[in-house]
């Protein structure tokens, strides 16, 4: 009997010791728990922008985690490719939330993909910071409580170009844009603003080739045949390069003002080299000419880490992570509802200076540079540029509420 009692006692002692040991072993792991952010993007289809974007995110992670992270925890970034497809993006977003247990989603590049994830975030009540997609629908007509957006939208960037567009005095305009959500939204915004400011304006042709499949010669010729006074361009990437080359060869741009979204960004300007169309009025990023303290600090850190110069994507990726860290710190939590409230009115410092996420529509006020293209030392660059604060081109609160029906 005593032998059985002794055995039972030893067994209990062994179990107790093992349990205590197990608790001790798990304590360091718990102390090292990370804050998981899920990021999805079109890495394979848009490498010119998204390779630098990933570098910008990694630089921000180094800086934040090197100082102890947020709320005493390091940020862990889990990235996935969205296949440049709305359906695949939603599948990936679901996987990040259910399998990886991320506290927030970020990213997307193409506007129709961003809209799909915006809808997912609203339905599933998941925080989503749309980093790059520019369609106005993300923060206005299709906006929801859980979605915020970083970059200046199509409306904002078009509004930044309007003073220069009107100053051309052109009456007849040709429009060329990629035939998907971003291009359609930009064209619609331009036409609306021009009609309001110049009622007698005429749009003599609209060329809307499929993204990545432009017949540049046919498009350039169609524009020339329409005999416009000026051209509004929204093409980017490889489509832009082909259009510029065909248009230059055919003399389409000669004697005509061209106003163009994004064309001053190094991602799209660099491939043109000395073929960059001098004189175009653009939004962009003159990376080697900005002299503000915030930007120079970022530039130094980026070049030290990568031995390369930043593209616009580098800034967007960097500020995406900085924004999420600032929001979590303000919320003092990773709880979704608290994070949403913290982002309303959140101030963030960026390489372009401080900006705010507006409470009324969840749109950031980070601006963009506007200037003219020129060729210097065999490369395209921006000259006569200025920084336009995003807040200066956004509609006021009353007007915004009409654009964002019952989103929250």
pLDDT, tens digit (0-9, with 9 covering 90-100), for 298-350: 999 999 999 999 999 999 999 999 999 999 999 999 999 999 999 999 999 99
3-class DSSP state of 401: helix
pLDDT of 226 over the 80 cut: yes
Residues facing residue 79 across a β-bridge: 39
3-state helix, strand, coil in the chain (%, to 5): 50, 20, 30
Task: Give all strands of the β-sheet with 281-284 in edge-to-edge order.
Answer: 202-207, 172-176, 230-233, 257-264, 281-284, 368-376, 379-388
Q: What digits encode the pLDDT tens for the residues 261-290?
A: 999 999 999 999 999 999 999 999 999 999
3-class DSSP state of 185: helix
pLDDT of 25 over the 70 cut: no
Looking at residue 405, its pLDDT comes to: 75
Q: What's the CATH fold of domain 35-152+290-366?
A: Rossmann fold (3.40.50)
Going by C-alpha positions, the residue among 233, 244, 149 that lies closest to residue 187 is 233
In the chain, where does the domain assigned CATH 3.40.50.2300 lie? 35-152+290-366, 155-289+372-388
Least confident stretch, 28-42, 97-111, 164-178, 230-244: 28-42
pLDDT of 3 over the 90 cut: no
CATH superfamily of 155-289+372-388: Response regulator (3.40.50.2300)
> What's the rounded mean pLDDT across residues 202-214?
96
Confidence of residue 2 (pLDDT cuts 50, 70, 90): very low
Percentage of residues of the chain with pLDDT beyond 90: 91
Confidence of residue 407 (pLDDT cuts 50, 70, 90): low
Q: What digits encode the pLDDT tens for the residues 125-184?
A: 999 999 999 999 999 999 999 999 999 999 999 999 999 999 999 999 999 999 999 999
For 121, the enclosing helix (H) or strand (E) is: helix 111-124
pLDDT of 199 over the 90 cut: yes
- Other residues' Cβ atoms within 10 Å of the Cβ of residue 391: 15
> What's the rounded mean pLDDT across residues 47-72?
97
| pTM for the model | 0.90
The answer to whether the beta carbons of residues 230 and 203 sit under 8 Å apart is no
DSSP state of 100: S
Separation of alpha carbons 169 and 281, rounded Å: 14
Cα end-to-end distance, the chain, whole Å: 71
pLDDT of 31 over the 90 cut: no
- For CA atoms 287, 190, 344, 130, give the dihedral sign: negative
């Amino acid at each position: 009997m005593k032998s059985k009692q002794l055995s039972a006692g030893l067994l209990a002692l062994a179990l107790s010791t093992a349990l205590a040991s197990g608790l001790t072993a798990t304590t360091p792991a718990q102390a090292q728990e990370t804050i998981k952010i899920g990021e999805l993007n079109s890495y394979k289809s848009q490498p010119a922008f998204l390779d630098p974007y990933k570098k910008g995110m990694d630089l921000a992670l180094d800086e934040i985690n090197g100082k102890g992270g947020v709320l005493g925890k390091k940020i862990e970034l889990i990235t996935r490719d969205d296949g440049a497809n709305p359906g695949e993006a939603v599948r990936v977003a679901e996987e990040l939330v259910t399998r990886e247990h991320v506290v927030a989603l970020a990213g997307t590049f193409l506007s129709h993909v961003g809209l799909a994830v915006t809808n997912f975030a609203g339905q599933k009540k998941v925080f989503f910071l749309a980093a790059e997609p520019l369609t106005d629908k993300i923060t206005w007509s299709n906006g929801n409580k859980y979605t915020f957006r970083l970059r200046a939208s199509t409306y904002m960037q078009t509004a930044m170009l309007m003073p220069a567009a009107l100053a051309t005095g052109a009456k007849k305009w040709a429009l060329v844009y990629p035939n998907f959500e971003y291009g359609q939204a930009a064209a619609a915004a331009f036409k609306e603003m021009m009609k309001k400011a110049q009622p007698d304006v005429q749009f003599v042709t609209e060329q809307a080739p499929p993204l990545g499949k432009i017949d540049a010669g046919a498009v350039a010729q169609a524009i020339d045949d329409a005999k416009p006074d000026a051209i509004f361009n929204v093409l980017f990437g490889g489509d832009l390069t082909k259009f510029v080359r065909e248009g230059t060869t055919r003399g389409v741009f000669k004697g005509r003002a061209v106003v163009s979204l994004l064309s001053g960004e190094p991602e799209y300007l660099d491939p043109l080299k000395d073929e960059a169309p001098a004189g175009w009025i653009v939004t962009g990023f003159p990376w080697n000419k900005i002299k503000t303290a915030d930007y120079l600090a970022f530039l130094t850190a980026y070049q030290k880490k990568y031995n390369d110069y930043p593209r616009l994507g580098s800034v967007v990726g960097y500020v995406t992570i900085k924004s999420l860290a600032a929001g979590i710190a303000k919320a003092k939590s990773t709880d979704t509802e608290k994070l949403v409230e913290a982002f309303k009115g959140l101030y963030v410092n960026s390489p372009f200076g401080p900006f705010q996420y507006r409470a009324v529509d969840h749109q950031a006020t980070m601006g963009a540079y506007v200037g003219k293209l020129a060729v210097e030392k065999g490369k395209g660059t921006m000259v006569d540029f200025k920084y336009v604060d995003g807040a200066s081109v956004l509609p006021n609160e009353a007007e915004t509420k009409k654009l964002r029906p019952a989103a929250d």
